[in-house]
Amino acid sequence: MFEPGPAPAELIRIKRDGGVHDPEAIRAVVRGITDQSWADSQVGAWAMAVLLRGLNAQERRDLTLAMAQSGRVMDWRGAPGLRGPILDKHSTGGVGDKVSLIVAPLVAACGGVVPMISGRGLGHTGGTLDKLESLAGFGVHPTEAVLQACLREAGCAIIGTGPDLAPADRRLYAIRDVTATVESLDLITASILSKKLAAGLQALVMDVKVGSGAVMPELAGAQALARSLVEVAAAVGLPTRALITDMGQVLGRTAGHALEVQEALEVLAGTACEPRLLELCMLQAAHLLVMGGLQPNLDAARAVVRTALDSGAAAERFARMVALQGGPRDVLRDAQLPRAPHTVAVWPSGLRQGRVRSIDVRAVGLALLHIGGGRARPGDVIDPRVGLTGVLGVGEVFSADRPLAQLHAASAEQARKAAAQVAAAFDCVDEAVKVAVPPLVPAVLHPGQGQGEGNASAPS
């Protein structure tokens, strides 16, 4: 006889009252989300109950697995021409974070295969897909044949999730977004890892941001999220390391879509190397090579990564990927990136000399969002031209010929307004004042490790 599953209201009540869901209950929730038999209101109520009451380790694992299996699970074994381990990285989001654009081809040039599933920006944080779309013609939803060709010939592809990949997450995330339940650590963990599991990865590096531009601004919150990601990933069989990295300043010298693609191209070509950006790219790539079994330890991996950059091999992989995904045919020679017509220098009010003490990075991201450099709501149209170049970091000195940044905008009026907002986000002091620069990587978490080791370059 047909056994109906538990009623939605009953499952919501159990979680509301602090009860524990067994694996079948979790599967029933995910089924209800996926097949739409649960109403939006019921999904929202359940998400709120989870946010308030939490999930235990077993529930988090069960939710992650059930969401990963709610749609297609990619299986790369036996795919013709793919010869490396399937690797990926994922960042919790920030301002100026163009690391994915560099790490995907870098790892590909060192023997990995990177089917990178990326997201769009929302709020003050940028999205990799939006950045790549500033390259004319670049398609983030390639056909299966194009995706396979990219992975075979470039070793990497950067794509968006299709409707068939973790569909439970797609619906749950949209409902969380409008029910103030995005912040649940349990739901963030299941959301991120379910998509990575569905992508058929063999190893993952998580970049968990901390600081004023991060979703988790405090170290304790970032550490809790990193620990949750590493532990759940280990429990579901996806080897994962988490790097907790500083988002207390813009990463690299640029923020804004086309401007970040330009900076990524310069890093790949060896003509720009803002040290923190370069270090983070090398570190993430090195961890992936070790986890994928391509290199024995981090020192060896860093040497290989350096060679892939210096030889132009990584740049070549990026160019191949861009051409195969429909972008410019020779992006290294002519990227055809759009440029904003107005540029103004950003100065702190009344000051022409001093040192940057701290930056409200979220406010910088929001200033760009207000002039079209981001989305306040899904579906908002982005202006890929707007953003910042030459952005100074914490501890750096500005002077008469070196402003805090250059602001690029569609009109003189927007440039002036946004420049004032960006300037207000910088806290500046006299040049003689000593300023402590936060470490780039305060901690690295490995599977089975309860806490960070705090040494970015320690061999694995």
Q: Binding to ligand URA by residue 48, rule CB under 6 A?
A: no
Which of 21, 60, 90, 120 is catalytic? The answer is 90
Cβ–Cβ < 8 Å for 115, 88: yes
3-state secondary structure of 388: strand
CB atoms within 10 A of CB 408: 27
Specify burial of residue 433 (Cβ count, 10 A radius: 0-12, 13-18, 19+). Answer: exposed
Nearest residue to the partner ligand URA, using Cβ: 191
- In whole angstroms, what is the distance from residue 440 CA to residue 376 CA? 29
Beta strands per DSSP E along 372-435: 387-389, 397-398, 405-409, 426-429
Binding mask 152-181 for ligand URA (x = CB under 6 A): ---------------------x--------
Does 67 participate in binding ligand URA (rule CB under 6 A)?
no
Q: In this complex, which beta carbon is closest to ligand URA, that of residue 25 or of residue 187?
A: 187
Q: Which of 330, 359, 352, 369 is nearest to 424 (CA)?
A: 359
Q: How far is the CB of 311 from ligand URA (least distance, A)?
A: 34
Bridge partners of 117?
Answer: 159
Using the minimum distance from each CB to ligand URA, give the nearer residue, 154 or 244: 244
- Please state, in angstroms and rounded to a whole number, the distance separating the CA atoms of residues 176 and 154: 36
* 195 is annotated as an active-site residue: yes
Tell me how far CA of residue 148 lies from CA of 153, 275, 324, in angstroms: 9, 34, 10
89 is catalytic: yes
Which residue in the list 21, 27, 61, 176 is annotated as catalytic?
176
**Nearest-approach distance from CB 389 to ligand URA, in angstroms:** 27
Cβ closest to ligand URA, residue 130 vs residue 263: 130
CB of residue 172 to ligand URA, shortest distance in Å: 9
Q: Which of 75, 74, 128, 130 is nearest to 103 (CA)?
A: 128
Name the DSSP class of 6: P
Active-site residue, 176 included:
yes
Q: Does 192 bind ligand URA (CB under 6 A)?
A: yes
Indicate which residue of 88, 97, 169, 186 is catalytic: 88
Q: Is 191 a catalytic residue?
A: yes
Site residue total, ligand URA (CB under 6 A)? 5
Least separation, in Å, of the C-beta of 188 and ligand URA? 4
Smaller CB distance to ligand URA: residue 191 or 358? 191
Strands 342-346 and 354-359, by their bridges, are unpaired
CA distance 104 to 88: 8
Are the C-beta atoms of 444 and 452 separated by less than 8 Å?
Answer: yes
Is residue 13 within a helix (H) or strand (E), and if so which, with residue range? helix 8-16
Does the annotation count 460 as an active-site position? no
Rounded to a whole number of angstroms, the minimum distance from the CB of residue 239 to ligand URA is 19
Q: How far is the CB of 44 from ligand URA (least distance, A)?
A: 15
Task: For the chain, report the end-to-end CA distance as a whole number of angstroms.
Answer: 55
88 a catalytic residue: yes
Q: Is 188 in the site for ligand URA (CB under 6 A)?
A: yes
Whose Cβ is closer to ligand URA: residue 158's or residue 423's?
A: 158
DSSP 372: I
Q: Closest approach of Cβ 6 to ligand URA, in Å?
A: 25
191 lies in the binding site for ligand URA (CB under 6 A): yes
**221 to 240, contacts with ligand URA by CB under 6 A?**
none
Q: Is 91 a catalytic residue?
A: yes
Active centre residues (catalytic): 88-91, 128, 176, 191, 195-196
Residues at the contact surface with ligand URA, assessed by CB under 6 A: 173, 187-188, 191-192
